[in-house]
Amino acid sequence: MKKFLAFSIILTIVISGCKKTQEYNLQFNINNLENGTAYLQTLSEDGMQTIDSAAIVEGKFSFKGSLPEPLFVYIKLSGKPRRIGLFLENTKIFVDGHADSLENVRISGSPLNEEYKQFKSLLSAYDNRQQELQQQYIEARKVNDTSTLNKIDKLWDLLDRQQNEMVLQFISQHKNSVISPFIITQRLIYSLNVNELDSLVSIFPAELENSIYVRMLKKRVQTLRNVEIGKPAPEISLDDTMGIVRTLSSLRGKYVLIDFWASWCGPCREESPNLVKAYERFHNKGFEIFSVSLDTQRDKWIEAIQKDHLTWTHVSDLKGWQSTAAGLYGVNAIPHSVLVDPQGIIIQNNLRGEALIEFLDTLFR
């Protein structure tokens, strides 16, 4: 299960300590919009963070301020579920539209938003085709048409590859723009391996070195480098189900499977019988499992452990996707596993099912 939109953008951090030299002036004119409040927001790991607000009077409102660098922001309007997303930069930006079609607002006066509009236009063809395939998939599922379902799966994979190629080409052609690292954080940061991501980040010029988006990408690369095969497994120290602190290092001298999971994760629960099988077969030979839950509700966590008969060490800080251990290991999807040798060195990633059993068989022969 993919972690959705897992990057941190906090405007107050970005602007702290910076000399105010230029200003942004964001002017809105939204027809048929009721009086209320507009909120200027950024997306953080904890969700949307409001950094400014303005009164809406007869469809008009504005935000003024200063930024050291362009930043993608969202505008939330009271009474409207849809947000307006745009790049904020130190210039005068005009946004016009209708309250009933906020997805079609017109943004002018901003070179970055013109550039981003080009990207969204290229992307729309793929998005439309994906929506068509999704609807066809739903209809085929209703009648259990496996032949059509298989064809759609292949078409989806092909379309996904073509879309990624288009995105990479756009990034290469716009490598001097802050839009490109932003697009990577939105669309590619969790789908590329560490070498692919590192190579992509290297194309950006020195002028973008301090961009918040480039810094986010470099942080991701460093996190993945820290948990590559051959590296010492970072320490994990969390409470177990009884509130007793358990550490990964306490299992040194044994082969340990670090298992990231959650009670609400269907694929994780499906993997439980395989883990039970591996534990029963190899535990007496020196194999341990150290399960780290991304749950937020203690009762659900404990209930799943008992129901699935998971009799090994379980820990969690009950912070969900904000789990400190998950962040340390760069986990963006679960189930996720890391196999550590008796010396505490990472030797494999994401072994599941029979692949795990077969690998452990070779270790304990």
- Tell me the pLDDT tens digit for each residue of 144-184: 999 999 999 999 999 999 999 999 999 999 999 999 999 99
Distance CA 44, CA 7 (A): 6
pLDDT tens for residues 137-147? 999 999 999 99
pLDDT 10s digits, 77-127: 999 999 999 999 999 999 999 999 999 999 999 999 999 999 999 999 898
Residue 45 confidence (pLDDT): 66
Provide the 3-class DSSP secondary structure of residue 344: coil
Give the integer Cα–Cα distance in Å for 65 and 88: 10
Report the chain's mean pLDDT, rounded to a whole number: 92
As a whole number, mean pLDDT of residues 47-56 equals: 92
> Tokens at residue 63, please?
């935000």
Q: Is the confidence at residue 17, as pLDDT, over 50?
A: no
| CATH number of the domain located at residue range(s) 11-109 in this protein | 2.60.40
3-state secondary structure of 213: helix
| CATH number belonging to domain 237-363 | 3.40.30.10
Q: Which two structure tokens, joined as six digits, stand for 112?
A: 């970055």
Percent of the residues in the chain that have a pLDDT greater than 70, as a whole number: 94
Domains of the chain: which residue ranges?
11-109, 113-226, 237-363
Q: How many CA atoms lie within 13 A of 170 on its CB side?
A: 24
Rounded to whole angstroms, the Cα distance separating 108 from 62 reads 14
The structure tokens 């017109």 sit at 106
- pTM for this model (two decimals): 0.83
The string of DSSP codes covering 231-294 is SBPPP-EEEBTTS-EEEGGGGTTSEEEEEEE-TT-HHHHHHHHHHHHHHHHHGGGTEEEEEEE-
pLDDT at 15 (0 to 100) = 40
